[in-house]
Amino acid sequence: MSDFTGKTVLVTGSSRGIGLAIAKAFDAAGANLILHARSEIQAETLAEFQHDVQVLQFDIADATATEASLKALYKQENFQGIDILVNNAGITKDQLAMGLTPEDFAQVVNVNLNGTFNVTQPVFKKMIRQKHGVIINLSSVVGLMGNMGQTNYAASKAGIIGLTKSLAKEGARRHIRVNAIAPGMIVSDMTAALPEATQAEILKNIPLARFGQVDEIAQTALFLAENDYITGQTITVDGGLYI
């Protein structure tokens, strides 16, 4: 059983889905949780946590607002710093490349890739000074293998892998580890909305013959947070889709 008692964990995009599952897993392991969302997190969601949580609300694509929110966090009385940062927040705007507008391409990259950097940079600076820290970035199997209709999303998630490797090299001497998780097809509102025929076609390419669960991504995050000899890696959790 993982034990993160006394550790402070910030999870972006933690109002639902994978981000919420990761936050709950760290909460169950005793961590102090800082949740983040672009919009208000519902009271019933907050009530699902075992311990008190703090909530930050800002758009990660807005570098100025992001930095201001994080600066205010660090200025709080008795705040000891962030031990673990999980960059999960992201969006999709799927369209075949020939129909993709420059605006839709830029928006997805700006949120998923630039937004990840906007959150990471100020936290990374503090981790450098405190001489420890863990950063876990949510990429995607699409960032490794590409996917029709997701040129913008694939580019952003591939960029996160490059960001992860570079930060891992920069942070290692200060005992900061940086890794990425690349989920495959995970049960979610998005996958549930797919036609049954589409789901069946996708399942044909997954050796384990099922979609993943959000808790399986959350357990991977816990593993990366506590294993002190893994850095710069991308852990694929996809049922064998990308073999």
243 inside domain: no
pLDDT at position 190:
73
Q: What totals of helices (H) and strands (E) does the chain contain, helices first?
A: 10, 7
Residues 177, 230 contacting (CB under 8 angstroms): yes
Looking at the 3D structure of the chain, how many domains does it have? 1
Distance CA 53, CA 209 (A): 37
Query: Averaged over 143-171, what is the pLDDT?
Result: 97
3 inside domain: no
pLDDT in tens, 40-51: 999 999 999 999
Residues 146, 199 contacting (CB under 8 angstroms): no
Query: Averaged over 3-32, what is the pLDDT?
Result: 97
pLDDT in tens, 86-114: 999 999 999 999 999 999 999 999 999 99
Here the CATH number for the domain that contains residue 231 is: 3.40.50.720
Sorted by sequence, the CB contacts under 8 Å of residue 144 that are 6+ apart come out as: 158, 161, 182, 234, 236, 242
Q: How many residues does the chain have?
A: 243
199 inside domain: yes
Query: Averaged over 117-141, what is the pLDDT?
Result: 98
Domain carrying residue 105: 8-236
2 inside domain: no
85 inside domain: yes
Whether pLDDT at 21 is above 90? yes
Look at the block and give the residue holding tokens 């933690």.
14
Whether pLDDT at 172 is above 80? yes
pLDDT at position 215:
98
- Enzyme catalytic residues: 153
Residues 136, 184 contacting (CB under 8 angstroms): no
147 inside domain: yes
pLDDT band at 194 (very low <50, low <70, confident <90, very high): confident
1 inside domain: no
